[in-house]
Amino acid sequence: MERATTSLISTADFEGTVAALTREFEGIFGSETISRFVREALDRWPHATVTSHLPVLAHRFARERLRALGQAEGAIAQEHTEVLFVCVHNAGRSQMAAGLLAKHAKGRVNVRSAGSTPAEEISPAVVQAMEEVGVDLSKEYPKPLTDEFVRASDVVITMGCGDACPIYPGKRYEDWELDDPAGRTLEEIRPIRDELDRRIRVLIAELLADQLGSQHQVKEPTEPSGT
């Protein structure tokens, strides 16, 4: 058994996580691929001191990666535009942006977030600032940027992470210059949150307009030919 499965969670928890994901992705991914993704998810927290929550986190992160891989490979349908927010630690700006987009899009746009060098936890002040506007980040966690996340995305928005994000053709890339909320007080984070909110509303309007235009192109009847 791999080190990650024995030192961080029990064999029963590891096998249970793999079994649950194998059932969910039956016909898409085999158990070997799923086992590897779960091990890699556990390796995200190699120095965890409190391990009771690790099976849940490993399941969530492995599931997100598997869904993204399935979407990128065309095995899982993408019903809506996929947006990925990337910052350095995935503990502030990208989490705030993802939460705001999910709130305003109301299921019409899908969103993920990640960090080039993820922190151990989301900034408590960021969580508090988002609670003020009705966005709950208390159950979220910093995630590393993976190739699957980028490949599955239609829009990739970076915030202060330089060239860490791989470039794939056919995707919309933007870089948003915003102050990093790390180490800032609640009062200092609010303006960052509000600027993100403004940009997110503009982004959603653009994406929904694009979606509507695409639907009209697909559904538009052809003109009858003259006789």
Active site residue 142: no
Report the length, in residues, of the chain.
Answer: 227
Q: Which of 165, 178, 189, 207 is catalytic?
A: 165
| Contact predicate 95/126, CB 8 Å | yes
- Residue 215 phi, psi dihedral angles, 5° rounding: -65, -40
Please say if 174 is a catalytic residue.
Answer: no
Provide the 10 A C-beta neighbour count for residue 123.
22
Q: Which of 161, 189, 192, 207 is catalytic?
A: 161
Among 21, 38, 72, 87, the active-site one is 87
- Among this protein's residues, is 65 annotated catalytic? no
Q: Which residues contact 20 (CB under 8 A, 6 or more apart)?
A: 59
Catalytic residues: 87, 161, 165
